[in-house]
């Protein structure tokens, strides 16, 4: 059974479908809301950053900040409509 730290470390490979441990990760995600949220945020961040050089390796803290900025922008945009 993988722990949260291992899942966090494998999340990038998991999203790339690049790990033989995907079923173990999936199992963990079924039971762990924290890691589900982490992987989801990582996925969103990676998709937004596609084409940017360091997009694949953004630390979780940065990912959270980027996401927050985007949310603020989206909110600002929708409130002007
Ligand atoms: Zn977890």
Expressed in angstroms and rounded, the spacing between residue 69 Cα and the centre of ligand 1 is: 25
Expressed in angstroms and rounded, the spacing between residue 40 Cα and the centre of ligand 1 is: 13
- Distance between CA atoms of residues 39 and 28, nearest Å: 11
User: Residue 39's CB: how many other CB atoms inside 10 A?
Assistant: 22
More confident: 22 or 71: 22
Expressed in angstroms and rounded, the spacing between residue 52 Cα and the centre of ligand 1 is: 28
pLDDT, residue 66, reads 81
Predicted confidence (pLDDT) per residue in 10-68, tens digit: 999 999 999 999 999 999 999 999 999 999 999 999 888 776 655 456 566 777 788 88
Expressed in angstroms and rounded, the spacing between residue 71 Cα and the centre of ligand 1 is: 24
- Distance between CA atoms of residues 19 and 79, nearest Å: 42
User: Exposed/middle/buried for 27, CB within 10 Å: 0-12, 13-18, 19+?
Assistant: middle
Q: Are 11 and 39 in contact (CB under 8 A)?
A: yes
Expressed in angstroms and rounded, the spacing between residue 7 Cα and the centre of ligand 1 is: 7
pLDDT, residue 52, reads 61
pLDDT, residue 60, reads 64
Expressed in angstroms and rounded, the spacing between residue 8 Cα and the centre of ligand 1 is: 8
Alpha helices in 1-81 (DSSP H): 4-15, 22-31, 33-48, 60-80
User: So where are the chain's domains?
Assistant: 4-80
């Amino acid at each position: 059974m993988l722990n949260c730290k291992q899942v966090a470390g494998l999340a990038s490979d998991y999203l790339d479908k690049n790990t033989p441990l995907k079923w173990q990760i999936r199992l963990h995600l079924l039971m762990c809301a924290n890691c589900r949220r982490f992987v989801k945020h990582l996925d969103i961040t990676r998709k937004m950053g596609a084409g940017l050089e360091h997009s694949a390796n953004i630390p979780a803290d940065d990912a959270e900040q980027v996401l927050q900025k985007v949310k603020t922008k989206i909110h600002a945009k929708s409130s002007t409509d």
